[in-house]
Structure 1
Amino acid sequence: MSSIWGKNIQLSIFGETSSEYIGGTLHNFPAGVEINLDKINLGLKLRKGTITFTPIKRVDDRPIIISGVTRGVTNGAPITVLFANPKYQPIDDKKEPPKPSHADYVAMQRFNNAANLDGGGHFSRKLTLPIVFFGMLCTDFLAYKGIEIVSHIKSIGKVEDESFGVDIDPILVERLNSSSFPTISQEARKLMTSLISSIYAIDDSIGGSIETAIVGLDAGLGSPIFDNLESNLASFFFAIPAVKAFEIGYGVNFAHSRGSEVTDSFLIDENGKVRTNNNFNGGMNGGISNGMPIIIKTTLKPLQSTRQLQNTLEFGTNKVVDLELHREHVASLVPRNTIIMTSAAAITLFDAYLGCHGHKHTVLTDEEIEAYRNKAKNKI
């Protein structure tokens, strides 16, 4: 089972839905970076969600840092974090039947019926906890370098939010990054919450999409062919449960466009910086950043763990039987997954940054630290 990702960093994820702990280890993160627990805890809170359309109360996820940090500062050793699992229970011999449209059946085939499928096992969304933890750590480092990452809900069902423009306002970035239901348009937010509420009322679920932007990245990050930035981003994003499609820039809309309609022409702005008049290519050409905002759109399928009657296979006999689930009902994962997409982008970008600039450029200068702190003070 491959639960390790990265070329210049190595991120390993471990744990299962019903295991005592869930966690991860990150190798090659630079020393001397202050751990911003406020930012990490905000990210974990957003992942958990505050607008859930469910009466179930959720326990806060508290990170337990067991290595790689000394007195609140990274020390260069591998960083390992654990999360105690409130749903931990000893494994019994009873095996649940595979849930349709989940990883249960394929896991049984892949691991000779030995996989623990309770609640999804190692395929569970719970394993995004360490991804968000390390993602927030990487966003903090990238912020020192003037790079910001932000996500918003692009669509729920057929309700669409506005898209990021060619220029993305820093105030908008700050607002979206602190929201549990981030949308650019307040009208879209109202329509989306109303739709999710109506879907929840009939015990069903609905899919949607998330748009992520990387702002402030210079041209030249990435490599051609197989190690390009686009493919590395796709690799990580598809590791997030429920993601079924990944687009950069204009994405699938290129299929019914003419070349003359979707050209990003060069210009020089008032600061003497090279940029383009449009951003159809989403900030990358040839798998390398071009200096414009990188725009990513991911599509998430609706959860099939609804309370509708479904057909499944009886374990051991392969007979088709009825299945009716009596567990927590989630009408839409999309709002809670925005912070996960931001984290996925941050980890991928940090890996590419390390590969392009090397370890010596991950050492933060006094000027970068001072500029970051002044920026933080101005937000207060």
Structure 2
Amino acid sequence: MSDRHTHGPGQDSHGHHHDHAHPHAHPHGHAHPSPGLRHRLTHLLTPHSHETADKLDPALESSARGLRALWVSLGVLGATALAQAVVVALSGSVALLGDTVHNAADALTAVPLGIAFVLGRRAATRRFTYGYGRAEDLAGLAIVLTIAASAAFAAWAAVGRLLDPRPVEHLPAVAVAALVGFVGNEWVARYRIRVGREIGSAALVADGLHARTDGFTSLAVLLGAGGAALGWQLADPLVGLAITAAITLVLRDAAREVFRRVMDAVDPALVDRAERAVRAVPGVREVGELRLRWIGHRLRAELAVVVDGEVSVREAHAIAVEAEHALLHAVPRLTAALVHADPAPVPGETDPHLALAHHLTA
């Protein structure tokens, strides 16, 4: 059963944007708000129509939150790195130098990620038909490379000091700088990770993990200062090597997170939730192929549903819209769904998709 419908671009009373026109499928660009008390009350008190309404697009709102998190953390980490750099110049601590470089690199990763958030807010074009959300994934790759570069620099500085040991001066100042680094980084890490998970940004979460590692490396600097105060001259470069190892661990986690996003990986539990929601829709006999993918910090869905082959085009369309509606409520951060309605097979009927078989690849 195929159905065709065309709506002018608009939003319903819940910010669901529609732009439909396809013989079989139903591409619905939806900006669906994050679930919360305000949204549930609005859903109960507002008639659920599909007419144009002046509502703030939650996808744009999430980009704005991401930008705000970046600039706030940039300011905090920039001030932290500057304070530490002054102490590095006075003390000559390579452990603190490695921590300072890592903090500065972490602050600077806000630049490509900020550019990605700005690009992601641009409308789709005839060339970039899915929009510019993938810029966020490219920024994630830049963050991973930055973490790798900071690890290499920290290792180089630590090995150099092992080969040419020097005393660390102004140890109390080094200890204070290390504490400042820990507090600043942990605050930024919590902020970035929380906002990144709320808006679905893997790159921002990776950046938060990067900041968290900086916090723990700052504590390692504190241990190095304590060792140097006790007369152990090699404590500072050895802590520098420990910092390198810690950076390498966060590099692994961040790279895995970004790699999965680039490869369109999603949580399998999210797919199960989507299938359950669609199967519960009246008129849906079965759910066929279901695909979810991230584009930046927004999700898109494509699926086929099996309906009674005797229903009218309008009835099949209504079932598809209701399936889409169920998805929007079941899947957080879903902003678009394309639903294809297939007629239930009957004995002796030729599969209507056979004409496409020779186009499919194994």
TM-score scaled by length of structure 2: 0.28
Bigger helix fraction: 2
Superposition TM-score, scaled by structure 1 size: 0.28
Larger radius of gyration, structure 1 or 2?
A: 2
